[in-house]
Amino acid sequence: MSKWVSMLRTLESITRWSLTVKVGGTIIGVFWFLQLIKDELLPERWEERLRLLNLLPHWPWYEWTIALLLVFLVGTIEGVIRWNGNEMAPILGWPGTLQNNSFMVAGKMRDFVQKFKADNGEVPRMYPTSDSSQQMRISAAISEWCTLFTRQFRVTLSDEVEDILNKIQAEGIPLDFTIVGVLEQPTLTPNSLLLVAGQLMAGGLSLTLKK
């Protein structure tokens, strides 16, 4: 799914839950219906008097602009709050809950992997070669890359990840310890961290189903 399609779907969900949009749409519909009655049923002498522009307040253009922007801002904020409460919170949980923290920490792990790769490049790849010295240099480069990757993870996220995993386990949620156990290894790789992130998301989803 492209970024634009995802944004449009999110916007559609927000507007669907926004009470401001519903009220505004109802008001526009009522005005349209009244205008239809005016045009089709009332005598011509009433048309000018009941024109829509004549019924609206005669504000300067900038006041109308400010008013419309305020309505848009209020509608967006209110729609996001209702959308989060009705669609997102039942799945991701409310901020501060273990359910929500599981998904948030999994997202942090993915962001960490992406940022590390952006700053340090992809992990060096070993390829077949008959040059033993070349193989040793590549192995050393891989080891250095993974060591730095592991060190930064231990400093920035390790404690938070292990804390969430322990809390999920305390809730009786089963975890795949063949995956979670990779955190105890001397060096880590991006793939191993992403597998652990998947376990966090699975734990958060299990908490959702448990409720």
Domain that includes residue 73, residue range: 3-90
Averaged pLDDT for residues 189-205: 86
Q: Percent of the chain, pLDDT > 90?
A: 11
Place of tokens 């970024």: 3
- Taking CA atoms, 208 is separated from 107, 198, 205, in Å, by 17, 15, 5
Residue 47: band (very low, low, confident or very high) from pLDDT cuts 50, 70, 90: low
Same domain, 111 and 77: no
Same domain, 49 and 75: yes
Same domain, 103 and 56: no
Nearest alpha carbon to residue 190 among 167, 157, 166:
157
Same domain, 157 and 139: yes
Same domain, 135 and 74: no
Same domain, 204 and 102: yes
- Is the model more confident about 44 or about 72? 72
Total of domains in the chain: 2
Q: What is the pLDDT of residue 117?
A: 92
Angle (CA) 170 165 207, round 5°: 65
Same domain, 61 and 144: no
Tokens read off for 143: 């080891």
Q: What is the pLDDT of residue 114?
A: 92
Same domain, 116 and 81: no
> 106-162 pLDDT, tens per residue?
989 999 999 999 999 888 776 666 566 777 887 888 889 999 999 999 999 888 988
Q: What is the pLDDT of residue 84?
A: 62
- Residues 119, 63: Cα–Cα separation, whole Å: 48
Residue that is last in its domain, among 62, 90, 118: 90
Residue that is last in its domain, among 72, 90, 108: 90
Contact present, 124 and 141 (Cβ < 8 Å) = yes
Same domain, 111 and 204: yes
- Residues 161, 196: Cα–Cα separation, whole Å: 9
Same domain, 120 and 192: yes
Residue 175: band (very low, low, confident or very high) from pLDDT cuts 50, 70, 90: confident
Same domain, 52 and 118: no
Residue that is last in its domain, among 56, 90, 124: 90
Same domain, 102 and 204: yes
